[in-house]
Structure 1
Amino acid sequence: MKKNESSKNWVEKEFSISEKFLKSAEKTLEIEEFEISVIAAYDSLFHSARALLFKQGIAEKSHYCLIEALKELYKNDKALIGFLKSIDQVRVSRHRLQYSGDSAGKQEAEFVKELAEDFLKFSKAKK
């Protein structure tokens, strides 16, 4: 992590990217490409989380560090901490799907897509 005040200018772009990946997650879920849907929904989660970090004027160096930094910055926000715990589990699942060839089912894909929808709304509303 490093302080980067100009990152505050990137917040809206991150939300746009998050929305784009969420649409991809929805479309791939419809055609039962569950693994791709989970990956796209995770990417939506990642960019929503990144927007939250950028709002604080901080840039991240890795997916793991992003989650850990947000846990520290918002340690008193129980709702956000709950989201971050779920996002971290999805991060691990996405890694296994993408790099180990694991499979995902409809239930997992639906859960991750819904999590991404909820987190995008939550992140946009967060000050």
Structure 2
Amino acid sequence: MNIEQCLEQGLLVKAKAELEKAKSSIEMARHKLELAEAEFDHGLFESAVISSYASMFHSARALLFKDGFKERSHFAVYVYVNEEYSARLERKYLNEFNSLRLQRHELMYGLERNAEVQESSADTTIKMAKGFLEAVKKMLQENNSKRKKTI
């Protein structure tokens, strides 16, 4: 599936670009990352993975707000960021974002209890979420600098 198909199916909706919403989404990403770190410190590794994904989701969502899109599914957020930003984001972040999207879904909605989330896995997801957040923040700052130069 691509962005055009997501638009046709209503999974993405064109909207006006909203930089304030992008900033709010970054703040939420930061909050979810802090939550993941606290959960990790308390040995709640499954919760830390879910919060790490939430941080990545809100980081990615900031890019959609900046570009004038609203999402109607987590999958559509991944499709959009993968298609529009694959040249500017390290592949490891895009792969981890999609992998965590699927893992979070299984952890939250699956009917079978899978093997427990290991400490090392939770630690890796937190590091990925942190790197992804920083990469997105950098892109938003670069975009903001370019806008100021053209005004």
Normalising by structure 1, report the TM-score. 0.91
Give, in whole Å, the separation in 2 of the partners of 1:110 and 1:75.
24
Give the C-alpha shift of residue 6 in structure 1: 4.7
Q: Does the alignment pair 1:90 with 2:90?
A: no
Aligned to 1:73: 84
RMSD: 1.4
5+ residue gaps, structure 1, are: none
Percent identity over the alignment is: 29
Distance 1:41 1:78 in 2: 18
Structure 1 residue 47 displacement after superposition: 0.1
Q: 1:114 aligns with which of 127, 136, 149?
A: 127
Post-superposition CA distance 1:40-91 (Å, at most 9, x none): 1110000000001111111111100111011222243352x44212100011
Q: Which of 44, 48, 51 pairs up with 1:40?
A: 51
Does structure 2 conserve the Cα–Cα contact (< 8 Å) formed by 1:7 and 1:59? Answer: no
Q: Which has the higher contact order (CA 8 A, sep 6+)?
A: 1
Length, aligned pairs only: 126
Amino acid at match of 1:108: S
Between the aligned partners of 2:84 and 2:130, the Cα distance in structure 1 is 22
Moved >6 Å (runs of 4+): none
CA deviations over 1:90-112 (Å, ceiling 9, x no partner): 11111111122433110111011
Q: Bigger radius of gyration, 1 or 2?
A: 2
TM-score by length of 2: 0.77
Give, as a single letter, the amino acid of the residue that structure 1 aligns with 2:134. Answer: K
